[in-house]
Structure 1
């Protein structure tokens, strides 16, 4: 029903000089969608209050309501072009009055978990990139055709928004870091099996794909939900943190479209927190994440972690282990070289996983899973609090090269999910006894004993990156020795 409208919005953005990439398209669509959602939410709350004989205090001031500046209507419901701002007047209003007003909600809000705070946070982090008030007017009129009134409408909009995120990921450049293939997320969730009442966390949530898919899983697994269950899902189940402004905005919008009215996503640098300060009350039952890899964190950030390393993903892995409750479960995507790298941090982290967690499954993903990323990954499934005794590996082989025109699908992961439920060995899966693992290196490299030629050549870039990391580590050790002499 709304698909053509979304295409028309993209056509408008394509012609807009201030929007050059799929990232820009998604960002600009997001803030307009968010304001239309707010207007529909306000209308629904007003009607509910009226039926209950109560007075409703609107969130947005009357002069800044969608129906005043974005889509004024005549008495017969038709669009009032005489009252609608356009051209330079519209850009001036949005940049000089609307955005500053919306930014102010962050300081006026009662708490970070309120919709008011989310409004302030979102409009403090993004800017209006429309340069033509006529293009913006076209976009506003198109978005006004969308409705967030019913669950069915929200459901359709969430699918269209997910398609937009997928396109953003496929576009390359930085888009891929915000998008994890949904079939992989769904398989991870099916293995971890979150339940209503458990707290689910992603400390690098990007577009909130893990949290949204977990919501879908919990909603469909339980069928008809009680009022108490729905309240629990709304307020006490999904928690996320995100460092980047655009990803934060997209994640908030994605969760709203999936039915969470005030998402518990915090805009912060997760790694800036000292993991020694994490208390039991801060911990979670389930962690689902695909943390960024390849980044290099500054020395002051590394001081927040017992295992010092500049590799962003390794710091996140420590954070996630610390953030789990005893008995909590996690499924984490990480570069496959983590399993065999010989640098001190990799070895220490594998030791930590094997000795203090039950690392029960490793899923080895094929090249091309993450479009545009150019790296091979594995998924680590583990429980906190008991040592690993046996480790079950599964090497995914979809029987074709993955790519933009041939992406990963749910059928590709069906065999993995079925065999994993019983930890059953097969042509593509095998079990390793921890006693057989070298205690000097804790090497967990994926080597399928069922196939003679399974050994893969490492990417030269990975080898060079490891050599550089070792050189840096050696230089730091020599520097420390120099200080002591």
Structure 2
């Protein structure tokens, strides 16, 4: 099947809908639908595996909220059963008043933030369904049902299409650019730090998780494919934090499409953490990031840092220095004026960098033009 055409068909329906009016909305709405489609495939896989072992599988979602029951009830012929399938206002009311509140409750019920249950709750606490026409939504669900998530080749193609949507969103302007770092730049930075299996990799300004996805690909291609290594890569290697609601959801979906089942992505303001509280056990071997430039943080947030400044990029650098294990490596995109700024905070921060780390820094203004080994 033509995945690209399926994505285009979904976008065309969102364009026609009065509730979704930007590239940001398109990818947010596509993401929640795709996530539930993926979750159904994941649950079916786990149920099949349990059956082979002669065991019962406890589904995460109650029956009424599983994809085959509310989104795509099918008849014996394998086609949509129009007598059972909701559409129009009934479908929108179910999604808004029952499905989303039910899924949002998982945040309270989950054991810890690393579980897929917690991710379900987090996503549906933060997103709202913006598709106002239940007829458009019915068609979108039917298109999404055609997307297969089981074969790795399918996932690979879907991940590329999703990345292109993220890129388009960044190109759309406004605040979309915060979500996308050019992939050649990311790969160059990963090649410099050369992460190894068994090391913990961190991005505290994760956005759409481009760094973490590319790091996953880099490690997967190079490591020995043992059960232990695969488990380590899935569960104990890639860590991120993201403040913005939509970016968090997009990042989760992007990592899932790259093959990471329950991403270690936390929804929080990284700069809200006092760097004096960061201990060795909280530190990482490798840090990869493109923190936002030009933002301003409030005075109370600045109190979490030794060098006081409202500039978000400078605060992130302090956070990253403190979050790096002894002997660790970092590659971070920073403003091209960082080495020349004469304000007190910039001077103090450069001095702090020289004293604290062996830091690979790639400076970027439109394109990479300088690489420094400190």
Runs of 5+ unmatched residues, structure 2:
none
Greater share of helix residues, 1 or 2?
2
State whether structure 2 residue 321 is matched by structure 1 residue 331: no
Contact 1:91 1:131 in 2 (8 A): yes
CA distance in 1, matches of 2:157, 2:210: 16
Tell me the residue number matched to 2:87. Answer: 86
Tell me the residue number matched to 2:146. Answer: 145
Contact 1:49 1:55 in 2 (8 A): yes
Tell me the residue number matched to 1:46. Answer: 47
159 and 183 in structure 1: CA distance in 2 versus 1, 3 angstrom threshold: same
1:97-246 map, 5 Å: 97-222=98-223, 225-246=225-246
Contact 2:209 2:251 in 1 (8 A): yes
Contact 2:189 2:362 in 1 (8 A): no
Provide Cα deviations, 1:303-361, integer angstroms capped at 9, x if missing partner: 000000000010000000000000000000111111111111100011111122234x5
CA distance in 2, matches of 1:381, 1:151: 38
Deviation at 1:200, TM superposition (A): 0.2
TM-score, normalised via structure 1 length: 0.75
Q: Secondary structure at the match of 1:260?
A: coil
Q: Secondary structure at the match of 2:358?
A: strand
Contact 2:180 2:208 in 1 (8 A): yes
Tell me the residue number matched to 2:36. Answer: 35
Runs of 5+ unmatched residues, structure 1:
370-376, 383-387, 389-485
Tell me the residue number matched to 1:277. Answer: 277
275 and 366 in structure 1: CA distance in 2 versus 1, 3 angstrom threshold: closer
1:341-380 map, 5 Å: 341-359=341-359, 362-367=361-366, 369=367
Deviation at 1:365, TM superposition (A): 3.7
Q: Secondary structure at the match of 1:174?
A: helix
Provide Cα deviations, 1:416-443, integer angstroms capped at 9, x if missing partner: xxxxxxxxxxxxxxxxxxxxxxxxxxxx
TM-score, normalised via structure 2 length: 0.97
Deviation at 1:89, TM superposition (A): 0.4
- Backbone CA RMSD of aligned residues: 1.3
CA distance in 2, matches of 1:139, 1:307: 50
CA distance in 2, matches of 1:363, 1:270: 21
Tell me the residue number matched to 2:250. Answer: 250
Provide Cα deviations, 1:191-218, integer angstroms capped at 9, x if missing partner: 1100010000000100000000000111
Q: Secondary structure at the match of 1:55?
A: coil
Contact 1:334 1:378 in 2 (8 A): no
State whether structure 2 residue 263 is matched by structure 1 residue 263: yes
